[in-house]
Amino acid sequence: MTIEQSFALAGERYAEHGVDVDAALSTLATVSLSVHCWQGDDVGGFERPDASLSGGGIQVTGNYPGRARHVGELRMDLEKALSLLPGRHRVNLHAMYGEFGGKPVDRDQVEPAHYRGWVEWAKQKGLKLDFNPTLFSHPKAADGWTLSHPDEGVRAFWVEHVRRCRAIAAYLGRELGSPCIHNLWIPDGAKDLVADRWTARRLLRQALDAIFVTAYPANEMRDSLESKLFGIGSEAFVVGSHEFYLGYALAKGKMICLDLGHFHPTESIADKVSAILQFSDELLLHLSRGLRWDSDHVVTLNDEVQAVMAEVVRGDALGRVHLALDYFDASMNRVGAWVIGGRATLKALLAALLEPREELRAAEAAGDNFARLALLEEMKTLPLGAVWDYHCHQSGVPAGSGWWRDIHAYEADVLSKRFA
């Protein structure tokens, strides 16, 4: 049976529940994921030749061959990954991925010129860019404190870094004609019990106020704030908790970022979507997979990702929710990891778009809890895969398992030769 024939039969099955598969695919085609550059080189960046991730409550595990060693290799790998994802997507940069010409440029000296190469590349490839300040892997973050550091000089250094990063984000947005999301995450916290949480949070609030003095047009950049439950070295106390950033974001008109790995394993991130969007215009979601802890595993088509996408679609909130990948796994082919996570996220979104929302709402409104649950169960075995394969086929990317061969060929021809 051909892909087209399977799709036609799938369409008939979904139509029995009032679902228009063509409409669902049309909507899916408008969605852009923000694909994170740091999966390609294990969060090392290009500030120095021997750069590697160190400190700041995050960790990369593994040493699989083929890591990108410079910006040219990273862009090549990103292009390969993007060629295997249906749709048009964005690329998400960290400040440490600038092109510094082999010269030492400290974080408080970064400027738009260091990212001009990324802009030219994005223009050539028809891509848009997002941006993040890098408040880790630096001597002034070695103790795990940055914007709430007790030393005024250290705080000032990081305030200046984030100020400059916001200006860079606005530059990227202007140049590419699409608002650049500037997302702020900091590692600040304590490994063991603390006696004074108040001072640290007061200092962080003051630092944020100083950072956000400069306003930029919404069509150039948008600010978001990302919380965390705990990190390596901040197991007992995280200054930028969910409650802190949610309060600040709502008070100051900023966007909140929910990372799927940054909450307690039993906490529902899906439940937060409808709550936050009652009071905020926009929401940023970082798609990750925590395995027992915030371990930044590759996104898979699991219950949590599907539940989050269902909530976004049920609330007609696709135009208000920004989707970004955020994980790093050095134990496997890094390009393949990008593609697995991107395709899983898009599949979860497609499943949500194929949900018979009107039928479900009618059963719920009638108090027919049996019919509601029965329908939710029935949806699990409807032919999502046939619709997904058709979407990939129509988008010019491999359907089914065909893309694996592309990854293996790329590894044999390119990745395996980098350290030969």
Active-site residue among 130, 175, 188, 259?
Answer: 259
Active-site residue among 282, 296, 329, 411?
Answer: 296
Active-site residue among 140, 149, 262, 272?
Answer: 262
Active site residue 296: yes
Distance CA 221, CA 243 (A): 24
Active-site residue among 228, 254, 297, 393?
Answer: 228
Active-site residue among 175, 188, 220, 226?
Answer: 226
Active-site residue among 282, 326, 329, 355?
Answer: 326
Active site residue 226: yes
Helical packing angle, 116-125 and 71-82, nearest 10°: 30
Strand 90-94 vs strand 283-287: parallel, antiparallel, or unpaired?
Answer: unpaired
Active-site residue among 294, 311, 389, 411?
Answer: 294
**Burial category of 258 from C-beta neighbours within 10 Å (exposed 0-12, middle 13-18, buried 19 and up):** buried
Query: Taking phi first (over 0 means left), then psi (-120 to 50 degrees means alpha), and beta for anything else, what does residue 91 get?
Result: beta
The per-residue DSSP string of 31-83 comes to --EEEEGGGTTTS--SSSTT----SSS-------S----SHHHHHHHHHHHHT
Active site residue 17: no
Active site residue 108: no
- Which residues, including other chains, have CB under 8 Å from residue 148's CB and lie 6 or more apart? 155, 186, 188, 200, 201, 203, 204, 207, 239
Distance CA 52, CA 55 (A): 10
**Residue type, position 204, single letter:** L
Looking up tokens 């991730």 gives 53
What is the dihedral sign for C-alpha 151, 153, 159, 161?
A: negative
Active site residue 259: yes
Is the CB of residue 256 less than 8 Å from the CB of residue 293?
Answer: no
Residue ranges of alpha helices (H) inside 177-302 are: 197-211, 242-252, 270-276
- Closest by CA to 351, choosing from 395, 407, 307, 315, is 307
Active-site residue among 38, 158, 185, 338?
Answer: 185
Active-site residue among 89, 94, 140, 286?
Answer: 286
Strand 189-190 vs strand 237-238: parallel, antiparallel, or unpaired?
Answer: antiparallel
Helical packing angle, 334-353 and 21-28, nearest 10°: 140
Active site residue 151: no
Distance CA 35, CA 327 (A): 10
* Active-site residue list: 185, 226, 228, 259, 262, 286, 294, 296, 326
